[in-house]
Structure 1
Amino acid sequence: MPHAPARPLRSLLFTPATRPERFAKAAEGGADAVIVDLEDAVAPGDKDAARANALSWLATPAARGGPVRALRVNAVETPAGLADLAALVAGPAEPDVVVLPKVEAAAHLHILDRLLGAGGKRARLVALIESARGLAALEEIARATPRLAGLMFGAADMAADLGAQTAWEPLLAARSRLVAAAALSGIAPIDTPFFDIRDADGLERETRAAAALGFTAKAAIHPAQIGPINAALTPDDAAVAWARRVLAENAKGVGTVDGHMIDEAVARKARHLLTAAGEPVPAA
């Protein structure tokens, strides 16, 4: 992925495309990716101006060492989405990632893949899963195209579609299905934003719970959420040391670390942990 950091993405900050003065600030705020949003953050009457803002910024050279630059377009089956894609394909904008909302079938990604290919765009894709139909087609969606880099969980729309509360427990089964589908295809599972920007403790609890479930990244809606997300999704020194000990012991065959048996399954977990920390991973 162009401009990607050494470690996998942990934090993805949504920024309204109606506020171009915030783009540069968002890119300097420590997020691994900045998502300029043309969908939920933009009123219907502002779509054209927002599109022009976003594509103008994405046509400028990216800062060396800066975050991944992403664009959330409108749904592919909407007039605004068709206008977004037509303008993106025809113009000079070069997002690293295109985030497609309301994905409910592999065909949605096939359409976007072909359009980007016809326009010579290298962008990877992230599919937003936010409906019961999307859940039902998850495995097919996850295998739709080699461009697909991740699946993102959309809690607010999912809760509305299921008639559930927007809380951890009611949406746990849906989250678990998304993590499993992402693992099946070797792509990133990205958790939904935490919507209460004043509740730092709640953000930390939910991010750590998402990490325990298998999510490797979490979206954010405010710059103040980036630090806690990055901290919760970055293994600490003790965890890195444990991973190195596990892999050193595993290289000798089945053994023990801290009294626990070490086999290939534990070694796989240790390799994932080192990757998440941005550390070199010894050859298996």
Structure 2
Amino acid sequence: MARRSVLFAPGDRPELLRKAPTTGADTAVFDLEDAVAPERKTEAGAAVREALADLDADCEVCVRVRPPGRGAAADLDAVLDSGGRSPPSSAAKPHDGDARTGLDGLVLPKAESADDVTDLADLAAERDADLPVLALVETAAGVLHAEAIAAAEPTAALIFGAEDLAADIGATRTEEGTEVLHAREHVVLAAAAAGVDAVDTLYTDFEDEAGLRADTEFALELGYDGKLAIHPSQVGPINETFTPDPDRVEWAERVLAARDEGGAEGRGVFAVDGEMVDAPLVAQAERVMERARAAGSAEDAVDRDG
């Protein structure tokens, strides 16, 4: 599954809940946490439940709930009110009136321990929903415990949240981002060690496409698999950046073909395009092909839907 672009939509805006899964984003997140004022939580929960129950989407659809002990149970009660959940599939989700059928996962804000992840998954299981968790690492404690959070059984991805982290530690946000660079690198390392996806922080100026592309390129260089989006206009540039271009795919195919030939001949090092290739470059080529296959599957789904 590709998670190149993860687009958030406020839970109290039904028109945006309907639009988000049609934007080409790999993951749409219906937000019941920060995007919704406290006095509108009940209204938002009902709107999300209705949107999920009447959903026909090919992308992954998740709900961001409040953390366990701080409103998660109420949010899950609002969304998972009845019925049994069908397993996710690559086909469009049917309109069967059950919110569980349209729900693929939960986003956990301010994750600070493995227990936070398992507690949320357990709360969902108590409501007959077996759901993976995308854990937002956006506090000092979360960054320090990112390895344990990533390794928790329900965790499918780590999401880095730079804005909340800066507020938590009292850092001043700068254009260069050096104040959160260590944490940004630490999160992607923790995700890689656990074998889960790493999703980079949002780029707040949704009118600055050049800045978004540069920041997304940097996230790709760090090793991230995708990036948060807060506006549909950000989805296209993010998807393009995390989709290997044809030249890169062709290079990877040549490397892997040479690897297969070299392995048959008992060679661990071989030449491709005049460059000596060994295990680290083979691993890079394999990653390129994984990204290309995942992106191709996501784009095929969008094409079918369109």
Normalising by structure 1, report the TM-score.
0.90
**What root-mean-square deviation, in Å, do the aligned CA atoms of Structure 1 and Structure 2 show?**
1.6
Asked whether 1:132 is paired with 2:123, we answer: no
**Match 2:69 to one of 64, 77, 94:** 77
Q: Give the 3-state SS of the residue equivalent to 1:261 in structure 2.
A: strand
**Who is 1:39 aligned against?**
33
The one-letter amino acid paired with 1:141 is I
d(CA) in 2 for partners of 1:99, 1:188: 13
Structural mapping, 1:235-254, within 5 Å = 235-251=244-260, 252=262, 253=267, 254=269
> Amino acid of the residue matched to residue 72 of structure 1?
R
Pick from 212, 219, 224 the counterpart of residue 203 of structure 1: 212
Identify which of 101, 106, 120 aligns with 1:98: 106
In structure 2, distance between residues paired with 1:41 and 1:245: 46
Q: Look up the match of 2:131.
A: 123
Equivalences for 1:209-228 in 2 at 5 Å? 209-228=218-237
1:25 to 19, 40, 43: 19
Confirm or deny: 8 A CA contact 2:111 2:142 kept in the other structure.
yes
Q: Does the C-alpha gap of structure 1 residues 162 and 246 become closer, same or farther in structure 2, counting only changes over 3 Å?
A: same
Paired position in structure 1 for 2:303: none
Deviations 1:161-187 (A, max 9, x none): 122233422211001100110011100
Asked if 1 retains the 8 angstrom alpha-carbon contact of 2:5 and 2:27, the reply is yes
- Give the residue type in structure 1 aligned to 2:68: V
Distance 2:130 2:122 in 1: 11
Structure 1 pair 140–180 and aligned structure 2 pair: CA distance change class (3 A) = same
Write the distance in 2 (CA, Å) between the matches of 1:242 and 1:232: 17
**What amino acid sits opposite 1:274 in the alignment?**
M
Change over 3 Å in CA distance of 1:132–1:242 after alignment to 2: same
1:99-138 Cα distance to aligned partner (Å, 9 max, x none): 0001111111111122222322132110000111111111
Distance 1:42 1:279 in 2: 32
SS at match of 1:14: strand
Query: Counterpart of 1:124 in structure 2: which amino acid?
Result: P
Structure 1 equivalent of residue 78 of structure 2: 87
Alignment CA distance shift 1:112-1:279 (3 Å): closer
* Structure 2 equivalent of residue 259 of structure 1: 274
Whole-Å separation in 1 of the counterparts to 2:182 and 2:53: 40
CA displacement at 1:24 relative to structure 2: 2.2
Aligned length: 270
Q: Aligned partners of 2:162 and 2:168: how far apart in 1?
A: 10
Deviation at 1:192, TM superposition (A): 1.1
Query: In 2, are the aligned partners of 1:250 and 1:264 still within 8 Å (CA)?
Result: no
Kept in 2, the 8 Å contact 1:96–1:122? The answer is no
Which position in structure 2 is the counterpart of 1:142?
150
